[in-house]
């Protein structure tokens, strides 16, 4: 083993390849050298090797906070959340000394990773353990995440209980109020929760908490049919949030155009049945955010042979990983080297992730998979793709009314940006309809709302599933809902949101077309 100082000096000089040569194969690396080797792998494009190294040595360095933080960072990059959570939980179960020395950061990361993998009960188990520790982690934070998990599991009583406990611990955190507002039906404008939120809102005008409170108050005033006041809070919240995030529409157009070029040159004319991974029959639900994807997933996953997968990032993970490998992140490289023979590997990677969750047919309602629609059908030719669209103005309003914790939705906080992105979405869907017209089913939210039974039967038939009456009772579906639609998805299909934008038309004129 080389001395730590020598290792660190080489690392500072960015001699990553030399360090890999020196350190690789040493089975007894100390914590610092192990982290350095992992970062060298990471910086030279081998994130999977970085994760494997840190994972394999985790038991020896579990209580080294720096090592643990690096393990979590690489886990996040590689999206190996379930494997990492399972290994950590196993280590804590198997070794008494580990249990005696357990730290709050271990429990916190396990709870977060189980949540990411939709294992809400396990997530709550570890948040509960955190409450038993004399921890530096805010109890308000723990209460909030317990409440959020319970809401998503359709346990409204415990959801409200823990979110209110979070607010009691720290009433200045805007997210707590927003989540309570999302899941409550307000009846009167003098509701005590509204009074409290307005008082806090008036004392703070530049923080993310102010943004969250603005969205919470907008929802509350919409509930009591005061659309002018609701719009006022929406404009305040969105204007401030727009100042925090950067949306580059030119970059969006460039990325879409590049995908079109690659598809036209390397994918359009080949017989897709000869490529891809044939042993997967999962169901992709795509469309704009807030277009009805959650409702559609709740309907389909009410079928006993279907598992509710939620918003999964697996396809983009394997698609971009393979594209970057062969193209070196350039359009020219993609045009030369990214072709159909690579699709089977992408499909296999996706299917392997699904197999960790279920043996059933799995829904994937990541809305932005519409970007990859033609590639999905060729990588997974036996999959089903359903595109759901909605009245443009209703869709844009629903986007503008919500705070998105997800990265990549920077366009959502400005009227012009929303409409620019919507135009780009329409353009790309027109491209897919021209070149992949037999690949997917097109439905509208309005069809679901006004002709529910016939539309649902058409969807189930397209998915090649036997008819089951459960699909007409989606509001009784007990599976988790992990999106902004958590409250609406538990209700029967209603058509009151059709043309709802008209209530706001006079107050948000720049949003509508």
pLDDT the model gives residue 488: 56
Q: Using only C-alpha atoms, what is the Rg of the chain?
A: 24
Class of domain 276-498: alpha beta
Tens of pLDDT, residues 134-184? 887 899 999 999 999 999 998 999 999 999 999 999 999 999 999 999 999
Task: List the alpha helices (DSSP H) in 202-286.
Answer: 208-223, 227-244, 249-266
Tell how far CA 151 is from the center of its chain: 17
pLDDT the model gives residue 82: 81
Tens of pLDDT, residues 423-460? 999 999 999 999 987 889 999 999 999 999 999 999 99
Tens of pLDDT, residues 468-485? 999 998 776 655 555 555
Asked whether the predicted pLDDT for residue 2 surpasses 50, the reply is no
Residue 361 main-chain phi, psi, to 5 deg: -65, 135
For 167, the token pair is 């607010």
Tokens 């000394």 locate to 97
Nearest to 324 by CA among 350, 349, 342: 342
Q: How confident is the model at residue 1 (pLDDT cuts 50, 70, 90)?
A: very low
| pTM score, whole prediction | 0.84
Nearest to 320 by CA among 351, 353, 342: 342
Give the CB-side neighbour count of residue 164, counting CA atoms within 13 A. Answer: 10
Tokens 């009433």 locate to 171
8, 36 in Cβ contact below 8 A?
Answer: yes
Nearest to 262 by CA among 378, 113, 152, 416: 378
Q: Give the CA diameter of the chain.
A: 72
Q: How confident is the model at residue 9 (pLDDT cuts 50, 70, 90)?
A: confident
For 75, the token pair is 């886990």
Mean pLDDT computed over 363-388: 95
Residue 440 main-chain phi, psi, to 5 deg: -150, 165
DSSP annotation string for 1-63: ---HHHHHHHHHTT-HHHHHHHHTT-TT--HHHHHHHHHHHHHTT-HHHHHHHHHHTGGGSTT
Nearest to 418 by CA among 324, 501, 351, 317: 501
Nearest to 238 by CA among 259, 261, 212: 212
Domain boundaries, the chain: 276-498
Cβ-in-10-Å burial (0-12, 13-18, 19+) of 228 comes to: exposed
């Amino acid at each position: 083993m080389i001395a730590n100082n020598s290792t660190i000096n080489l690392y500072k000089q960015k001699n990553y390849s030399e360090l890999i040569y020196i350190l690789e194969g040493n089975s007894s690396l100390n914590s610092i050298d192990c982290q350095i080797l992992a970062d060298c792998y990471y910086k030279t494009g081998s994130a999977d090797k970085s994760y494997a190294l840190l994972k394999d040595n985790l038991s020896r360095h579990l209580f080294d906070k720096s090592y643990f933080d690096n393990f979590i960072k690489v886990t996040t990059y590689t999206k190996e959340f379930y494997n990492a959570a399972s290994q950590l939980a196993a280590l804590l179960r198997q070794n008494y000394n580990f249990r005696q020395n357990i730290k709050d950061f271990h429990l916190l990361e396990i709870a977060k990773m189980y949540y990411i993998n939709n294992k809400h009960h396990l997530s709550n188990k570890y948040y509960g353990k955190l409450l038993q520790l004399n921890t530096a982690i805010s109890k308000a934070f723990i209460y909030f995440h317990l409440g959020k998990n319970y809401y998503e599991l359709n346990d409204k009583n415990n959801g409200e209980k823990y979110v209110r406990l979070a607010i009691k611990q720290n009433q200045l955190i805007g997210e707590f109020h927003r989540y309570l507002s999302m899941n409550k039906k307000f009846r009167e404008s003098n509701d005590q929760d509204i009074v409290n939120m307005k008082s806090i809102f008036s004392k703070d005008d530049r923080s993310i908490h102010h943004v969250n409170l603005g969205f919470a108050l907008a929802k509350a005033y919409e509930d009591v049919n005061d659309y002018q006041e609701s719009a006022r809070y929406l404009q305040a919240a969105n204007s401030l949030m727009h100042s925090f995030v950067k949306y580059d529409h030119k970059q969006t157009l460039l990325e879409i155009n590049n995908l079109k070029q690659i598809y036209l040159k390397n994918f359009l004319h080949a017989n897709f049945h000869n490529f891809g991974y044939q042993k997967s029959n999962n169901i992709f639900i795509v469309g704009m955010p807030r277009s009805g994807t959650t409702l559609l997933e709740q309907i389909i996953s009410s079928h006993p042979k279907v598992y509710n997968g939620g918003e999964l990032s697996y396809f983009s993970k394997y698609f971009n990983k393979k594209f970057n490998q062969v193209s070196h992140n350039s359009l020219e490289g993609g045009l030369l080297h990214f072709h159909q023979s690579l699709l089977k590997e992408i499909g296999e990677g996706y299917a392997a992730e699904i197999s960790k969750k279920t043996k059933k047919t799995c829904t994937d309602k990541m809305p932005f998979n519409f970007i990859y629609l033609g590639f999905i059908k060729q990588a997974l030719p036996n999959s089903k793709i359903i595109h759901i669209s909605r009245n443009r103005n209703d869709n844009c309003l629903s986007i503008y009314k919500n705070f998105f914790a997800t990265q990549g939705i920077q366009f959502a906080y400005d009227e012009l940006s929303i409409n620019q992105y919507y135009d780009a979405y329409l353009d790309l869907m027109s491209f897919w309809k021209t070149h992949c017209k037999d690949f997917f089913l097109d439905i509208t939210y309005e069809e679901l709302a006004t002709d529910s039974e016939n539309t649902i039967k058409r969807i189930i038939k397209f998915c090649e599933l036997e008819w089951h009456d459960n699909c007409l009772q989606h509001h009784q579906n007990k599976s988790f809902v992990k999106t902004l639609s958590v409250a609406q998805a538990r209700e029967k299909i209603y058509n009151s949101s059709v043309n709802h934008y008209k209530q706001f038309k006079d107050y948000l004129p720049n949003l509508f077309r």
